[in-house]
Copies of this chain bind each other. A is one copy, B any other.
C-alpha cells in the first residue's frame, strides 16, 4: 500500500488519535469545489480521456514545472506549442515522468499522484522506472472503460458541485449542454472578467468590443461598459454561477468619482493608456465589481500577487499557464481600503481574499477578515495548497480571524483526477490542526467535531451560496 491511513496526521500521541477520530466523520462527505479550472467540455461530451499522460501529466503545471526545473524540456513532455509542432509519444512522456518521480519527494504533487494511483487505479506500489510501462498500460486500459468517463468519475468522486472559470465572452454552451443532457452533475461557471478589465490582456480592446456585441450595450461609454458587465453577470447567474473571480497583479482598489472613472475608461479604451492608468482602472473596477456583487449577490474572489509569464522564452513558445507565473510581495491593508470603506461593512457582500504572499496571513489578512463583515479568507492558494502551507495558514490566521471567517477548501485545479486527493489532504490537515488544539487543551473535542464539519462543507456552502 502506498497510502497509510494515518498519513498527514501528527506522528503520535493524543493529537494523532483525535485527528483520526475527526477524520472519520468527514472523509466520506461530498466534495464541494467552488473554484477550479476543469474543462466543461469533458462533462458535456463525456468522452474517455485519451491516455494516461494526457490525463495525469500534461494538464498539470505542478508536474511539468518541476521536471523542467531539472532540465527536462517541455517539448519532450509533449506540452503543446503555439506553432503546433509535433507532440511527444505519450508513453515515452510517462517513462520520463516515472524516471523522475523521485523529484517530487516531499511535494504535494507526490501525495496527489500516489492517491490517484492507488485509489483510482488500484496500483499499490510506488511508481518507478521499473513499473512505468506496466502502470501505463493498466491506466490506459482503465480509462477506456465507461466507469472512467468524466461524468462517471464526477459521480464516483461524490462531487456535490464543481465550478469552472470562464470569461464574460464565453457562451457557456458546454454548461448549457450539460444542463440539457439530463445528467444531474452540478457544473457551474464562475465569472472571471480579467480579459475585459486588464488592458494588458492579449486582445483586450477586441474583447471589450465583443462584449458590446454580445450584450448590445454601448461599450463606448463607461456606463455602457458597466452595464455590459452587469448583463453578462446576470447571464452567468442564470446559468448557475454564484461567484466572480479576479486575478489582479496587486490588491489595489480605488473609489473614483464617476466623471474621473468615465474619463479614465476613455483613456483605456483609446489604447493609448500608460501602465499606471491601467493599474488604477483595474483598481476602480474591483470596487465596481464589489458594488455589482452587492446588487446581484455573486460572491467575489480576489487572487492577487502573481507575476504572469515570467519566463519570456517559454511564453513565446508555449503560451500562458506553463508553470512560469511567479509570486511577488502583496500589500492588502492600504490597497483594499477604498473598496472596504465603500462596501466592507455591507452584509450583502461576500468578498474572499487569496494570497501567494504568506506574510500577509497574520499581518494583514487575518486582522482585516477578523473585522470587516464582508471579508472572508480563501484557503491557501497554489504553491501553498500543500500540507505545510495549510498548516501555516491555520496557525497564522486562526488566532485573529477564527475559523468562521474562512471558507473551506478550493481545489483550484485543471487536473481532474487530483480533485479527491486534494480534498483529502485538506481534510487531513484540518483534522491534524484540530487534533493538536484538542491535545493541547485549547479546544474541546466536541467542538472540534463541529468545526471540522464546518470547515469541510458548511462554510464553503455558505460563502459561495451553494
Contacts and interface: CB of A to CB of B under 8 A. Distances in A.
A399 B389 contact: yes
A223 interface: no
Interface in A382-426: 383-384, 386-389, 395-396, 398-405
B106 A8 contact: no
5 contacts: A69-B405, A103-B402, A329-B329, A383-B400, A387-B399
A307 B333 contact: yes
Interface stretch (A195-203, A266-274, A292-300, A358-366): A358-366
Interface stretch (A169-177, A178-186, A256-264, A432-440): A432-440
Contact of A371 (B69, B388, B440): B69
Chain A contact patch, size range: 35 or more
A82 interface: no
Contacts of A362: 358, 383-384, 389
Contact of A69 (B69, B373, B439): B373
Interface in A414-462: 436-437, 439-444, 447, 450-451
A319 to B, nearest CB: 15
Contacts of A50: none
B106 A398 contact: yes
Interface stretch (A88-96, A212-220, A229-237, A308-316): A308-316
B395 A399 contact: no
Contacts of A104: 402
B443 A105 contact: yes
A344 interface: yes
A341 B364 contact: no
B439 A12 contact: yes
Contact of A340 (B310, B383, B443): B310
Contact of A333 (B15, B326, B337): B326
A70 B405 contact: yes
Contacts of A312: 341
A99 to B, nearest CB: 13
Contacts of A372: 69, 311
A386 B402 CA distance: 12
Interface string A2-19: 011011111111110000
Stoichiometry, copies per complex: 3
A357 B363 contact: yes
Interface in A322-337: 323-324, 326-329, 331, 333-334, 337
A299 to B, nearest CB: 15
Contacts of A403: 105-106
B402 A105 contact: yes
A65 interface: yes
A108 interface: yes
Contacts of A9: 440
Contact of A323 (B110, B340, B371): B371
Contacts of A328: 331, 333-334, 363-364
Nearest to A70: B404
Nearest to A347: B71
Contacts of A442: 7-8, 106, 110-111, 387
Contact of A313 (B326, B341, B347, B450): B341
A291 interface: no
A436 B8 CA distance: 10
A211 interface: no
A370 interface: yes
Contacts of A68: 371, 373
